[in-house]
Amino acid sequence: MNNNPAIATPARTQAILNRYNLSAKKSLGQNFLTDLNILTQITEAAELTSNDNVIEIGPGIGGLTEQLAQRAGHVLAFEIDQNLIPVLAETLAPYDNVTVLNQDILQANLPDTTKEIFGTDEGLKVVANLPYYITTPIVMDLIQNPVQFANIVVMMQKEVAERLTATPRQKAYGSLSVIVQQLTVPEIAFTVPNTAFIPSPKVDSAIVRLLPADPSKPQPYSQKRFIGFVRGCFMHRRKSIWNNLQGVFGKDATTKAVIKQGLEQLNIDAGVRPEELTVAQFVALTDKYHELGLLK
Ligand code: SAM
């Protein structure tokens, strides 16, 4: 029986930080959540049950981890900061269903580690209050991972959340929107005021939920090539797709003729900007330029 107040209360968080003489490391994106209502909403967005195996990125001092441990089957948490490992050993001592690894999530081998810890790499969920300085690399890593997640529920800067969910012609629409929306179904579950953290981050935050993409929707011939191609198309977002495609493939006469042929065959006006094209059009362009020999 655990008689301590929840870790994620302002008083207990402050007491833990004081006792270990810790101050939140800005360089590691340490902002600790101290609002139990928000934590409950996060676990609800992940629809956790006692059968779930959950990966957490950056447990910090264990505020979210504790809430996950109370609801899920097993929690595997990756924390890069070695100084927090003894803290977590103490704060999470009442829970026997938590495994903490002192590892950089960007270096982790999730297929092998999850099989070792959970005995499976299927049906897993990810729940995390992300370190904001590496939000995009973590999201890109998770959505391209060989491990297929049942859902991914992550806190990030509101501005990045808006990029993930933006639609064509919106200011926030760019390569990240296209890639994430092809690989998953993203939605902003709710926004979070900066008063919910110690210390308060300077930016607004949002919880994003990523669900698996509809398996019946058209896939590009190569996910890797699609991602590289989309990034290339948005190199100069104020310029036309015609200009950007020359940046991707080349400006010689033969290449330009093939670029033009591809656009014509897909009925795409060469003068539109990349931000006017839909996700499906980027998939179609990827396959078209593969068919025409510009993408290997
Ligand atoms: N989960 C805690 C909470 O919600 O209160 C802390 C979240 S804090 C925003 C982000 C955490 O990620 C910090 O504990 C930080 O040390 C950790 N972190 C930063 N970079 C990391 C990385 N590359 N791999 C794993 N953890 C990382």
Atom of ligand 1 nearest to the CA of 128: 1
In this prediction, residue 252 carries a pLDDT of 97
pLDDT digits (tens, 9 = 90+) for 85-101: 999 999 999 999 999 99
In this prediction, residue 1 carries a pLDDT of 55
Helices (H) and strands (E) in the chain, counts: 12, 9
pLDDT digits (tens, 9 = 90+) for 111-140: 999 999 999 999 999 999 999 999 999 999
Q: What is the per-residue DSSP string for 102-118?
A: ---GGG--HHHHHHHHH
What are the structure tokens assigned to 263, written together? 């656009």
What are the structure tokens assigned to 155, written together? 């806190």
Pocket test residue of 9, 79, 104 for ligand 1, highest count of atoms within 8 A of CB: 79
Domains defined along the chain, listed by start? 10-212 (3.40.50.150), 223-291 (1.10.8.100)
Give, to the nearest 10 degrees, the angle between helix 241-249 and helix 253-265.
Answer: 130
- Indicate if ligand 1 lies below 6 Å from the C-beta of 58: yes
Whether residue 82 is predicted with pLDDT greater than 80 in this model: the reply is yes
Atom of ligand 1 nearest to the CA of 33: 5
Ligand 1 centroid to 128 CA: how many Å?
A: 8
- Indicate if ligand 1 lies below 6 Å from the C-beta of 116: no
Asked if residue 262 lies in contact with residue 288, where contact means CB atoms within 8 angstroms, the answer is yes
pTM of the model: 0.96
Ligand 1 centroid to 267 CA: how many Å?
A: 46
The HSE-up count of residue 76 (CA atoms within 13 Å, CB side) is: 23
Average pLDDT over every residue of 179-187: 98
What is the CA angle 208-213-217, rounded to 5? 145
